[in-house]
């Protein structure tokens, strides 16, 4: 009989304290009853990656961060590891990583700037410390375990801070390194968020990339399932901080979660979904602090829960950029040039809408990139602006993209009408609209001040 393989990822809050580490250890022990091969992917302890990167950007704060890192990791180790030689060895390894951090900050201070490569080296240290701590805690609990850094087997390109994995090489290395350890009965503990390029230099997969790491490892081993352990009961109908009556969805389709993750739902990194879908692997989101809760299971089609709309999410701190002018009418290539200019600033565009008269193109960009985008567009269209073919290139103040998601929308007429009637009846003004051809979601742009009111108003369509 083929042995079943499970990949579990624990987020920052799930390994963020002695109590959380104890819960994670019990979850791993319980999983051993049903799974013969288990890989555990760990994030940095909660708050650590921010602390590391803040210090890299302000290296004079490194001394303060050094003592905080030591206190956070050592106090958890001392609370949970009774075996003195194991405790001392763990502290020694973590201390060596803290010294690397201090040296990197000193180097950044001397150079006067932090390169993307240096930032990745700093950011990776949180996961590397967490790996030592979690592995020791699990061994202390009497579970056979082996820690290994994902830099040993996740091979990426050299796009520091947002690296892309080479799946073929990663597959070969992952199977060669992890299978023998798993076959010997070890729980394999590894780092999320980080890989290494072909030369062995540390890279990171982008913020929140530990989910992505779990999906990569799950797809190349391959695992039967990937479970993401976090601090919420799964995917919710909306942000419970905005709507206290928000509920957990027991099932959701990959298409629906992709839209939610892309449009601001923090429960899953947007890149996580593709490797899992491609490999045909089950994915589950669970709560470390409420492990008996079933969480949310992701499936190919998703379960109909009786509601056409399943969830509402909002992505804030956006601006709408508009290029407008009568001279654009019928001129080919305007959109291509516009988005070429945007791409040159390395800005991602979450929403696009174009007037059918071709007299304007409107799209959203993150607020902090808006000035760079406007400058790039003004350069690209300098001649057209001078000749009045383009009247102006401008951006709004801060706006939010609110998205309603539900696979049932595809087969239900009149959903858009309901959405806009609901907003209109509750005094919410819509600035722009976009609906993907997948018809799983409708996105609309509202003023920043209307964000929470719009989310609450649309959430009523789920519960009504």
Q: Answer yes or no: are the C-beta atoms of 239 and 224 closer than 8 Å.
A: no
368 within a domain of the structure (yes/no): no
Helices 84-111 & 116-140, crossing angle to 10 degrees?
170
Query: What pLDDT was estimated at residue 255?
Result: 83
DSSP letters spanning 278-345: HHT-EEEEEETTSTTS--EEEESS----S-S--EEEEEEEEEEEEEE-GGGTT-TTHHHHHHHHHHHT
Place of tokens 């406007």: 374
Q: CA distances (Å), 84 to each of 77, 129, 139, 326, 421, in order? A: 11, 19, 13, 76, 66
Closest to 161 measured CA to CA, from 127, 116, 126: 116
How would you write the pLDDT of the chain (464 residues) with one tens digit per residue? 468 999 999 999 999 999 999 999 999 999 999 999 999 999 999 999 999 999 999 988 888 999 999 999 999 999 999 999 999 999 999 999 999 999 999 999 999 889 999 999 999 999 999 999 999 999 999 999 999 999 999 999 999 999 999 999 999 999 999 999 999 999 999 999 999 999 999 999 987 789 999 999 999 999 999 999 998 888 889 988 899 999 999 998 888 887 887 776 667 777 888 898 888 898 999 999 999 999 999 887 655 555 778 899 999 999 999 999 887 776 778 889 999 999 999 898 989 987 655 588 999 999 999 999 999 999 999 998 998 889 999 999 999 999 999 887 877 788 888 999 999 999 999 999 987 656 788 999 999 999 999 999 999 998 65
Which CATH number do you get for residue 144? Answer: 3.40.1160.10
pTM metric for this prediction: 0.84
18 within a domain of the structure (yes/no): yes
C-alpha count within 13 angstroms, C-beta hemisphere, residue 438? 14
Place of tokens 């990139």: 369
Query: What pLDDT was estimated at residue 464?
Result: 59
* Token pair in block for residue 262: 């892309």
- Measured in whole angstroms, the distance separating CA 125 from the mean position of its chain's CA atoms is 19
59 within a domain of the structure (yes/no): yes
Identify the domain containing residue 87 by its residue range.
5-231
The total number of structural domains in the chain stands at 1
306 within a domain of the structure (yes/no): no
416 within a domain of the structure (yes/no): no
Query: What pLDDT was estimated at residue 353?
Result: 86
Instruction: Give me the torsion for CA of 236, 241, 244, 246, rounded to 10°.
Output: -10
Query: What pLDDT was estimated at residue 1?
Result: 46
37 within a domain of the structure (yes/no): yes
302 within a domain of the structure (yes/no): no
> Which residues pair with residue 282 across a beta bridge?
225
95 within a domain of the structure (yes/no): yes
């Amino acid at each position: 009989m083929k042995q079943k393989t499970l990949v579990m990822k624990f987020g920052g809050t799930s390994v963020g304290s002695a109590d959380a580490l104890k819960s994670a250890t019990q979850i791993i022990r319980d999983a051993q009853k049903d799974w013969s091969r288990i890989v555990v992917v760990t994030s940095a302890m909660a708050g650590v990656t921010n602390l590391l990167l803040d210090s890299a950007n302000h290296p004079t704060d490194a001394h303060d961060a050094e003592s905080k890192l030591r206190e956070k990791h050592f106090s958890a180790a001392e609370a949970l590891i009774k075996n003195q030689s194991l405790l001392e060895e763990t502290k020694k390894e973590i201390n060596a990583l803290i010294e690397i951090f201090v040296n990197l900050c000193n180097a950044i201070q001397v150079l006067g700037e932090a390169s993307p490569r240096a930032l990745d080296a700093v950011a990776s240290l949180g996961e590397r410390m967490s790996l030592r701590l979690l592995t020791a805690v699990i061994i202390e609990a009497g579970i056979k375990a082996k820690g290994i850094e994902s830099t040993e087997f996740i091979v990426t390109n050299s796009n520091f801070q947002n690296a892309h994995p080479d799946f073929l090489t990663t597959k070969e290395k992952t199977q060669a390194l992890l299978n023998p350890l798993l076959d010997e009965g070890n729980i394999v503990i590894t780092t999320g968020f980080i890989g290494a390029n072909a030369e062995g230099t540390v890279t990171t997969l982008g913020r929140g990339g530990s989910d992505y790491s779990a999906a990569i490892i799950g797809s190349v081993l391959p695992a039967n399932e990937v479970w993401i352990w976090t601090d919420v009961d799964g995917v919710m109908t909306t942000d419970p901080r905005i709507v206290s009556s928000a509920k957990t969805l027991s099932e959701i389709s990959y298409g629906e979660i992709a839209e939610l993750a892309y449009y601001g739902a923090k429960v899953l990194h947007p890149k996580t979904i593709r490797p899992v879908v491609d490999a045909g692997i089950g994915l589950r989101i669970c709560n470390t602090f409420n492990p008996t809760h079933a969480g949310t299971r992701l499936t190919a089609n998703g379960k109909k829960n009786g509601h056409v709309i399943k969830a509402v999410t909002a992505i804030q701190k956006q601006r709408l950029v508009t290029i407008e002018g009568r001279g654009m009418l019928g001129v080919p290539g305007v959109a291509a040039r516009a988005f070429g200019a945007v791409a040159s600033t390395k800005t991602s565009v979450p929403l696009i809408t174009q007037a059918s008269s071709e007299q304007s193109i409107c799209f959203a960009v993150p607020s902090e990139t808006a000035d760079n985008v406007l400058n790039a567009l003004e350069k690209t269209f300098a001649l057209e602006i001078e000749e009045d073919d383009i009247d102006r290139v401008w951006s709004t103040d801060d706006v939010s993209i609110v998205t309603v998601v539900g696979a049932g929308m595809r087969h239900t007429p009149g959903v858009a009408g309901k959405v806009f009637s609901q907003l209109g009846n509750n005094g919410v003004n819509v600035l722009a609209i976009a609906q993907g051809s997948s018809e799983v979601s409708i996105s609309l742009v509202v003023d920043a001040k209307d964000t929470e009111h719009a989310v609450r108003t649309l959430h009523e369509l789920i519960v009504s």
